[in-house]
Structure 1
């Protein structure tokens, strides 16, 4: 019974982030930006990042997509705010490992760790990782 209640809590966190995303919008003064698309399901994500002194000082996303992609983007923006670029890259790697079912340091992922269950649904992995891939590409100006 306890596992069922925990699953419900995780679902609620995901639904809340999707319905009321954090850092949603655009930045006028971004230093790094990128648009990525998930051709599998049609998700589109525009990510704007402001990096000052090797630290993420502001971040915003816009676009549209499924509940998982929007929630993941919201959680990711919360998690990486005020982190150094290296810390953010470590988080990108940890999130990717977690979603692929590999051993990962989920402690650094904050709320994003609740998306671990997505690893059981291969069709949704690209939805969950879209924002994180965008962050990696934006930080590396790919």
Structure 2
């Protein structure tokens, strides 16, 4: 697990300066919003030969939802769909407090502390739910 100060720095950096932001022409996408707070994220994916060739997002929201989407684009792009689904399941389990931080998640372990903040779990999972829907064709 990352020291709390480093985790906050990673989340703050990605929340204020998100990577992977912007539409992706010709991509499948799924939009999701968090009715509890109004955050909105649209995830754009391009899949080639069972690999997540490119991943981007658009939307607005709190630092946690935007940082999670930003880091998701960095960690998952270029991976096989099997790897994407595995890492998404590991991330979800960590955020929900069902599993400890997993080094395979890289900087995404910065969100481990969100498991203690029940209202913020939805924020941390918003883009991931949209990704799941996009990969399912929705």
Q: Tell whether the structures are fold-level matches, with TM greater than 0.5.
A: yes
Any gaps of 5 or more consecutive residues in structure 2?
none
Q: Distance in 1 between matches of 2:72 and 2:100?
A: 16
Matched with 1:35 is: 31
Higher RCO (CA < 8 A, seq sep 6+): 2
SS at match of 1:28: coil
TM-score computed with the length of structure 2 as normaliser = 0.94
Give the root-mean-square deviation of aligned CA atoms. Answer: 1.6
TM-score computed with the length of structure 1 as normaliser = 0.92
User: Any idea what the Cα deviations from partners look like across 1:88-140, whole Å, max 9, x if unmatched?
Assistant: 11111111100111125722212111100000100100000011111111111
- Which structure has the larger Rg? 1
**Contact 1:92–1:133 (CA under 8 A) maintained in structure 2:** no
Match of 1:17 among 10, 14, 35: 14
**Contact 1:94–1:104 (CA under 8 A) maintained in structure 2:** no
SS at match of 1:50: strand
How many equivalent pairs are there?
A: 138
Match of 1:138 among 130, 134, 137: 134
Match of 1:102 among 98, 102, 119: 98
**Contact 2:101–2:112 (CA under 8 A) maintained in structure 1:** no
SS at match of 2:22: coil
Any gaps of 5 or more consecutive residues in structure 1?
none
